[in-house]
Amino acid sequence: MRKTLLAGTALVAAAAAPSFAQNMEGTLTIVSWGGAYSASQQNAYHAPYLEKNPGVTIVNDESSAEAVARLRAMTEAGNVTWDIVDVTGADAIRLCDEGLAMEIDHNEWLAPAPDGTPATEDFGETIHTDCFIPQIVFSTTFGYRTDVEAWEGREPDDLCDVFDLEAFPGTRSLERRPISNLEWALICDGVAIDDVYDVLETNEGQARAFAKLDTIKDSTIWWTAGAETPQRLADGEVVIGSTYNGRLFSLIVEQNQPVKMLWDWQTFDLDGWIIPADVPDEKLPLIKDYIRFATDTQRLADQAKYISYGPARASSAPLVSTHAELGIEMAPHMPTDPNNAGNTFLFNYEWWADNRDDLDAKFQAWLTR
Amino acid sequence: MTDATLGGPSRAPSREEQAAMAEKSEGGVMLAADGTPLKLSLARSLRRKRLRAFLLVLPLLAFVLLTFIAPIADMLFRSVENQIIPDNMPRTVAALEEWDPAESELPPDAAFEALVLDMVEMEAAKSHTRVGSRLNYEQSGMSGLFRKTGRRADRVEGDYRAGLIAIDEEWGERQTWTTLKNFSGAYTLGYFLSAVDMTYGETGEIVAKPELQQIYMFLFERTLWLSLAITGTTLLLGYPIAYLLANLPMRTSNLLLILVLLPFWTSLLVRTSSWIVILQQQGVLNDTLVALGLIDDQNRLSLIFNQTGTIVAMTHILLPFMILPLYSVMKTIPPSYVRAAKSLGATNWTAFWRVYFPQSIPGIGAGAILVFILSIGYYITPELVGGTSGVFISNRIAYHISSSLNWGLAAALAVILLIAVMGLYWLYDRIVGIDNVKLG
């Protein structure tokens, strides 16, 4: 009873919202990652919002990669010039813990789904801290070249083929950080997925993961920027490598390179907005208005026309349509598509927040040895 | 003395006046046109001049102090600063003062009570997560422990000890409390200990980190060694080029000088990326070698994403910093000296080695110190082409600034790097002599 009532009011509110919404004015400084990702936000969020509110100016700042450090510096200097910042889920936890990001009431800030489901239910688990407003689900997964002669026609279809130098010789490209790599190593060393983090918490478990990575260490190049693996795959410098699935999508579909996806045990990760804790009060109405617009069901589904990342709202998934320029169906390229999501795991944010510093030191020490 | 004060202007005599008076008592003194002693009036005008000069540089001095020295000092100060703990957990800090981890396994009940009270207050101020992240740099799991405890601390009543341990067993471990005690002061050595691969043990003693986590000393050593290697290669390559430039006719040398400067004006990232294109396994160089049949297709050389890559790319990028000072010094060496040496019977080699080379040493000194200091703090090129064996300490500093947010450790590493550079500079001054360095 209570739920239907709630849903009912939400529906009324949603229907009434446009007529009440007055035109906004002012300047928004929005920080994001640049490249194809910022372009997808420009097309799906900024452009329609600016059309609705001609009095608003959006200033794009492409410094998400160093957002955590810069936001801290700005806050300490007492001069926060950013209004909305796009960060990964892990960075959002750090910013929230440090008190640099604003804690928000998701149901108050975010629009409900078209059927009236409140935002917190529609976004579900993707809201992992009180500061984080999710946009997309992306995954870190593998791509491999399809024309490697030494593989004699075999194609990898299992994550553990990455660790199999005999059947699939050649150079690998892995990210220069412990996250995902250690989990993958343990999975391929025979640890059940539910036990991975328990095992990784012990010294023996860590030694086991590093020992597994040792088997391919000599044939691995380590990347720090998401563009490196696609470039190396295209050059033939590596035969198999991990990166964000959207990067591989553009390599395969937009650039037609002889590369295929290996979705097995992709690591899901989140990306979304945070609001700096110290934005001036008079800016808040505009920020709220933009966020409510840019994270509604339709907008999140629209973004998937431009980049192959899955919308964070459950209600957006059925609305995902075709690529804006190529006209192909986007659903089969989404990390969340059932055909791709056979074996997946969600990056364990809390566990990594606790253990990242320690394991990172160990990982770097292992790399230099 | 009293008479002088009464008769003269009503102020205490300055040092100059005293000196002048002392001289007067010894004998006659020269007077300026206005009757004051000449020495005094000279000193005055000199002082005025000095003051004017100081006032002229004052804006620049203030600018440098405010925008350069002060922020750096502030940043470096973070390497010892630990105010966050005593500020947020005053009761716990006080309660742990008496406790000696070496004597008893766990602190007294008062400490447990103090922690719960502090935690409730921190939760209300939303600062418990910040304190937790701070302590997580010292002990893994502290961040989660504080988040979890903060959520439930207000429900702990009566037996605080049992209540806390019920929230998380970590509160029953000595290590947790030792970490709290070790980092309870407003200032800490902890960041510096981490920066030299040390840490506090279970009872508060200083011990080496487990071997698996030792990384910084090794990186410092590698940074030093690679920077020296890069300085050496730039000197080896730069010296003949500078010599050529200095001894060719003006028109040709100007043309060649543009060739030296052209890469200097090209974006750093472009130059670094082009080295990737040239040196990678499927790159230009390897392709050429395979086509010439010099190496086998299966055994292409690994020239990048390792130390070789760092040395090659950085040598190229820093080469102008060696060539330019060398060139400007060599330009001032009169060619007649070498001709004179030869006419007196010296061989080409002797004339170069005994006459020309010693005169070019100030240029070598300047170039070497420029290249060395630039490369010891280099960041972007090693990050892109260094792989795992060619990265520098600055890459770790950058990681702690921008990614882990452990600015204290980054500051400690930077302080050590700064001290190391200043130490080397001192050594350099002793051996080469900084007066011998010439930029032109």
CA closest to A358 among chain B residues:
B140
Q: Are A262 and A310 within one domain?
A: no
**Contacting residues of B for A354, CB less than 8 Å apart:** 136, 140-145
pLDDT in the model for residue A65: 86
Interchain pair B282, A364: CB under 8 A: no
Separation of alpha carbons A87 and A133, rounded Å: 10
Interchain pair B281, A72: CB under 8 A: no
- The minimal CB distance from A235 to the residues B133, B142, B280 is found for B280
Interchain pair A236, B218: CB under 8 A: no
Separation of alpha carbons B281 and B297, rounded Å: 10
Assign A8 a pLDDT band (cuts: 50, 70, 90).
very low
Residue B119 and residue B148 in contact, taking contact as beta carbons nearer than 8 Å = no
Provide the chain B residues 268-297 that lie in CB contact (below 8 A) with chain A: 280-283
- The minimal CB distance from B405 to the residues A94, A221, A362 is found for A94
Q: Are A213 and A355 within one domain?
A: yes
Separation of alpha carbons B183 and B86, rounded Å: 9
Q: Are A218 and A358 within one domain?
A: yes
Query: Domain with A239 in it: what CATH number?
Result: 3.40.190.10
Assign B27 a pLDDT band (cuts: 50, 70, 90).
low
Q: Is the pLDDT of residue B22 over 80?
A: no
Q: Is the pLDDT of residue A5 over 50?
A: no
CA closest to B210 among chain A residues:
A362
Q: Min CA distance, A364 vs chain B (Å)?
A: 7
- Residue B356 is given by DSSP the state I
In a domain, A338, yes or no: no
**Contacting residues of A for B142, CB less than 8 Å apart:** 354
Mean pLDDT for A1-16 is: 42
Q: Is the pLDDT of residue A265 over 70?
A: yes
Assign A15 a pLDDT band (cuts: 50, 70, 90).
very low
Q: Could you report the per-residue pLDDT of A312-325, keeping only the tens digit for each?
A: 999 998 898 888 88
- Residue B428 is given by DSSP the state H
- The minimal CB distance from B387 to the residues A94, A221, A366 is found for A221
Q: Are A352 and A246 within one domain?
A: yes
A27 in the Ramachandran plot: left (φ > 0), alpha (ψ -120 to 50) or beta?
beta
The domain of A71 spans 2-131+275-333
3-state secondary structure of B300: coil
Interchain pair B218, A368: CB under 8 A: yes
Q: Are A325 and A309 within one domain?
A: yes
For chain B, the maximum distance between any two Cα atoms, rounded to a whole number of angstroms, is: 102
Provide the chain B residues 205-264 that lie in CB contact (below 8 A) with chain A: 212-215, 218-219, 222
Separation of alpha carbons B225 and B232, rounded Å: 11
**Contacting residues of B for A359, CB less than 8 Å apart:** 140
pLDDT in the model for residue A326: 86
HEC states along chain A?
Answer: CHHHHHHHHHHHHHHHHHHHCCCCCEEEEEECCCHHHHHHHHHHHHHHHHHHCCCEEEEEECCHHHHHHHHHHHHHHCCCCCCEEEEEHHHHHHHHHCCCECCCCHHHHCCCCCCCCCHHHHHHHHCCCCCCEEEEEEEEEEEEECCCHHHCCCCCCCHHHHHCCCCCCCCEEEECCCCCHHHHHHHHCCCCHHHHHHHHCCHHHHHHHHHHHHHHHCCEEEECCCCHHHHHHHHCCCCEEEEEHHHHHHHHHHCCCCEEEEEEEEEEEEEEEECECCCCHHHHHHHHHHHHHHCCHHHHHHHCCCCCCEECCHHHHHHCCECCCCCCECHHHCCCCCCCCCCEEECCHHHHHHHHHHHHHHHHHHHHC
B319 in the Ramachandran plot: left (φ > 0), alpha (ψ -120 to 50) or beta?
alpha
Q: Are A121 and A146 within one domain?
A: no
Q: Is the pLDDT of residue A167 over 70?
A: yes
Residues of A contacting chain B (CB within 8 angstroms): 65-66, 68-69, 72, 94, 96-99, 103, 171, 176, 221-222, 224, 232, 235-237, 350-351, 353-362, 364-368
Interchain pair A97, B129: CB under 8 A: yes
pLDDT in the model for residue B10: 47
Q: Is the pLDDT of residue B11 over 80?
A: no
Interchain pair B401, A236: CB under 8 A: no
Q: Min CA distance, B349 vs chain A (Å)?
A: 44
Q: Could you report the per-residue pLDDT of A196-207, keeping only the tens digit for each?
A: 999 999 999 999
Assign A17 a pLDDT band (cuts: 50, 70, 90).
very low
Q: How is chain B split into domains, by residue range?
A: 2-75, 84-212, 216-436
**Contacting residues of A for B282, CB less than 8 Å apart:** 235-237
Q: Could you report the per-residue pLDDT of A25-80, keeping only the tens digit for each?
A: 899 999 999 888 999 999 999 999 999 999 999 999 999 988 988 999 999 889 99
Q: Could you report the per-residue pLDDT of B227-274, keeping only the tens digit for each?
A: 999 999 999 999 999 999 999 998 999 999 999 988 888 899 999 999
Residue A104 and residue A364 in contact, taking contact as beta carbons nearer than 8 Å = no
pLDDT in the model for residue A18: 44
Q: Is the pLDDT of residue A21 over 60?
A: no
Interchain pair B282, A237: CB under 8 A: yes
Residue A111 and residue A17 in contact, taking contact as beta carbons nearer than 8 Å = yes
Mean pLDDT for A256-271 is: 94
Q: Are A261 and A149 within one domain?
A: yes
Q: Are A159 and A66 within one domain?
A: no
CA A295 to chain CA centroid, nearest Å: 15
- The minimal CB distance from A69 to the residues B147, B391, B405 is found for B405
Residue B96 and residue B62 in contact, taking contact as beta carbons nearer than 8 Å = no
Whether B387 has its CB under 8 Å from any CB of chain A: the answer is yes
- The minimal CB distance from B130 to the residues A68, A97, A176 is found for A97
**Contacting residues of B for A90, CB less than 8 Å apart:** none
The answer to whether ipTM exceeds 0.85 is no
Q: Is the pLDDT of residue B310 over 90?
A: yes
3-state secondary structure of B37: strand
In a domain, A162, yes or no: yes
Fold (topology level) of B216-436: MetI-like fold (1.10.3720)
Assign A22 a pLDDT band (cuts: 50, 70, 90).
low
Q: Is the pLDDT of residue B14 over 90?
A: no
Assign A194 a pLDDT band (cuts: 50, 70, 90).
very high
Average pLDDT, chain B: 88
- The minimal CB distance from A360 to the residues B144, B388, B404 is found for B404
Mean pLDDT for B14-25 is: 53
Mean pLDDT for B311-330 is: 94
